[in-house]
Structure 1
Amino acid sequence: MPDIRDVEIIAPNFKRRLSGVTSTIVQLIPCQIRLGIKIATLGPGLPEDLPKLKWRQLLGLWRPPASRRRRVWHARRNNEMAVGILLRHLTRMPLKLLFTSAAQRRHTAYTKWLIRRMDAVIATSDRSGSFLEVPHTVIQHGVDLALFHPPDTAEDGIAATGLPGRHLIGCFGRVRHHPPDTAEDGIAATGLPGRHLIGCFGRVRHQKGTDLFVRAMIELLPQHPEWTAVVSGRVTAEHVAFADKLKADVAAAGLSNRILFLGEVPDIKVWYRRLTLYVAPSRNEGFGLTPLEAMASRTAVVASDAGAYAELIVTGETGSVVAAGDGEALTRAIAPYIADPALAIAHGESALRHVRANFALEKEASAIGAVYNSLLGDNRS
């Protein structure tokens, strides 16, 4: 438990279930600490190795930190903004309020009211910033280049999956519906005919566009017998019928041994390194980190223009972007990579250079740190 006197930045997390916001906090805070930012979290659903305040320590916020006149309360959700406003205005705690917005939609009147009471606002993309009606700074998310990196061991190759071949295409996230014991067991047991893998890894649901990927595979695979498609992730109870319909469509096309539903993979990072192409067919997203994680693994990306995807991918150099929900366009964008894996490999090399130059996690942390410093003001004399 950190000493509240040493904490200058508080990053609340008021949601117990894992979400994109929670994932951002988990990845970003260790990097911020390495850069010397005195930050701690508050709330449930976070790893124990993060510096985490107890609720009772909020009483210590009446006294500023040892070296500053005030602290920063960095909110990412409405309820976190509301608590920050209460702490500052009701209890008169010396706080500056910061909000990061990833929303790709018009804000409600209540959210606008909360945002207007912030001292500073960060948008995670130009698109999310376009929905804000207050001055803001655009700081795009970054990716941890130590965790997401190109293949460097035998485990990172396709041979480690138990399948023949060398080329993978993927679309990542979470799906579970009657999976085998492990994803690797499911692969090894199939006796697949193909030499290359195409994958879509993400929660199986309409929002994530899993049906668009499966439809593209049903159309393309008969012309490319050397390829096999893989879908991996989680199916929640309300989406079981959706997943069952996809499996029925695959069976009706006679492709059940070439389009496989694997369940959740144990380590998503190694799967990025096994891929040659990653597919992100979402109909809508907040920001969407998976294309960055794929590109950091030297993998080209075909994605929809949901979330910030279009701002992450350089079309014709690191992959391709199509209109969200347009299944025909998605199929057309995937087709050249299936026909010519060397194209995907070349775009993967460009993608790695692009991410390293523009989307390192340290770059995001440094930019946010500059906002913190502007809010904290001068050190206490």
Structure 2
Amino acid sequence: MADIRDIEIIAPNFKRRLSGVTSTIIQLIPVQRALGQKIAVLGPGLPATLPSIRFRDLIHLWSAPAGRSCRIWHARRNVEMLPAILLRDLLRMKVRIVFTSASQRRHTAWSKFLIRRMDAVIATSGKTAAYLDVPNSVILHGIDTKRFHPPADKAEAKRGLGLDSSKKHVGCFGRVRHQKGTDLFVDSMIALLPCRPDWCAIVAGRATGPHLAFEVELKDRVARAGLADRILFVGEHTNIPDWYRALDLFIAPQRWEGFGLTPLEAMATAVPVVAADVGAFAELIAEGSEETGLLVPAGDLKAMVDGAAGFMDDGARLAVAGANALARAAKNFAIEGEAHAIGAVYESLMR
């Protein structure tokens, strides 16, 4: 438990279930701390290893930390903006509010009301910024390049997961559901693999609640195609970087996405990406002379099949794009860069 008197930035998390927002907090906080940002979390659903404060500690927000004019409250959801507004405007506590938006849709009237009352707003992509009616800073998410990195020996990386090291592997990682386009990936593999015996496919991720039947139907579809031994459903894993290191190509088939970190995770592991043009993918993936992958229209199965085939059938292109992907991820998307940029927003408010 952190001492509130030593904390300058509060990162609330008011949702128990793991989500992309929660994952962002979990990954960012240790990096921000390492950079000297005095930050702690507040709320449930977070690892005990993160520095945290209690709700009763909020009484100390009437006084500012030493050498500062206020504390920062960094909200990422509506439910986290509202209490901060009450603390600042009703109770007159010394707090200023930062909001990060990842939404790529029109905001509701309620969301707009809250966002207009922020002291600073961060957009996670240019597409997200286009939906905001207030001044904002675009700060793209970064990736932990110490956690996601290429293997020393790809064949050994495959064998370590029980995979056939003589085969190439194409993967689709994330929650198994229609929105994530898992069915598009499966259908593209059913089209591609029969005439490419040197390739196998991996679906890594979990189906929950109403999506369980969707997963069962996909597995049945694979079995009917006679590909159950080559399109593998491996479930959810805590060692997901190891699975990226076993891949030769990654597919991001989402129909909709707020930001989407999986292409960056693949790129940081030197794996090229074929991705639907959703979320921030167009801002992550490079085409042309420094190709790291390919963008295809969302929901377009034929374009996905053709795009994947172009890499699967050209080993030289696959290798060059993988090297380019690694270089681009390391140069532009290291999580330390994201943390530095967010820290600059904090500093501008606390000075």
Give TM class, smaller chain.
over 0.9
Partner of 2:329 in structure 1? Answer: 355
**Deviation of 1:257 (Å):** 2.2
Alignment partner, residue 245 of structure 1: 217
Q: What TM-score results when the alignment is normalised by the length of structure 1? A: 0.89
C-alpha separation in 2, matches of 1:336 and 1:292: 20
* Separation (CA, whole Å) in 2 of partners of 1:20 and 1:156: 31
Matched, 1:366 2:318: no
Distance in 2 (CA, whole Å) between partners of 1:297 and 1:154 is 11
Q: C-alpha root-mean-square deviation of aligned residues, in Å?
A: 1.4
* Distance in 1 (alpha carbons) for counterparts of 2:156 and 2:55: 43
Alignment of 1:206 onto 2:206: no
Residues 102-146 of structure 1 show CA distances to partners (whole Å, capped at 9, x for unaligned) of: 001100000000000001100000000000000000000001111
Superposed CA deviations along residues 51-85 of structure 1, whole A, max 9, x for unmatched, are 10011100111111112111111100001000110
Structure-2 change in CA distance of 1:311 and 1:154 (3 Å): closer
The whole-number CA distance in structure 1 between the counterparts of 2:34 and 2:20 is 22
Q: Give the CA deviation at 1:157.
A: 2.0
- In structure 2, distance between residues paired with 1:106 and 1:322: 24
Percent identity at matched positions?
59
1:325 aligns with 2:307: no
Kept after mapping to 1: 8 A contact 2:104/2:128: yes
CA distance in 2, matches of 1:143, 1:38: 21
Please state how far the C-alpha of 1:154 moved relative to its aligned partner. 7.3
1:266: how far off? 4.2
Q: How does 1:1-381 map to 2 (within 5 A)?
A: 1-152=1-152, 157-166=157-166, 195-316=167-288, 317-377=291-351
**Counterpart residue identity of residue 295, structure 1:** M
Distance in 1 separating the partners of 2:343 and 2:130: 23
Aligned AA (2:30): P
**Contact 1:99–1:115 (8 Å) recurs in 2:** yes
The answer to whether the 8 A contact 1:156-1:270 is kept is: no
Code of the residue aligned with 2:82 in structure 1: it is: A
Counterpart Cα distance in 1 of 2:62 and 2:153: 52
Maintained 8 Å contact 2:161/2:243: no
Q: Which runs of 5+ in 1 are unaligned?
A: 167-194
Q: Distance in 2 between matches of 1:268 and 1:40?
A: 26
Task: Tell me by how many angstroms 1:161 deviates.
Answer: 2.7
Change (3 A) 1:97 1:319: same
The SS at the match of 1:235 is coil
Secondary structure of the residue that 1:164 maps to in structure 2?
coil
Structure 2 unaligned residues grouped into runs of 5+: none
Deviations, residues 17-75 of structure 1 (Å, cap 9, x unaligned): 11111111111111111111111110011111111001110011111111211111110
Deviation at 1:254, TM superposition (A): 2.1
Length, aligned pairs only? 349
Counterparts of 2:287 and 2:83, CA distance in 1: 42
SS at 1:100's partner residue? strand
Runs of 4+ in 1 over 6 A off after TM superposition: none
Tell me the equivalent position of 1:181: none
Residues 349/248 of structure 1: CA separation in 2 closer, same or farther (3 Å cut): same
CA distance, structure 2, for counterparts of residue 21 and residue 338 of structure 1? 33
The CA distance in 1 between the partners of 2:125 and 2:350, in whole Å, is: 24
What does the per-residue CA deviation read over 1:141-194, in whole Å, with 9 as the maximum and x for residues that have no partner?
00111111111367862222333335xxxxxxxxxxxxxxxxxxxxxxxxxxxx
SS at match of 1:72: strand
* Aligned-partner SS, 1:231: strand
Question: Which secondary structure state, in structure 2, belongs to the residue aligned with residue 122 of structure 1?
Answer: strand
C-alpha contact 1:302 1:334 (8 A) present in aligned 2 = yes
SS at 1:328 equivalent: helix
- Which secondary structure state, in structure 2, belongs to the residue aligned with residue 52 of structure 1? coil
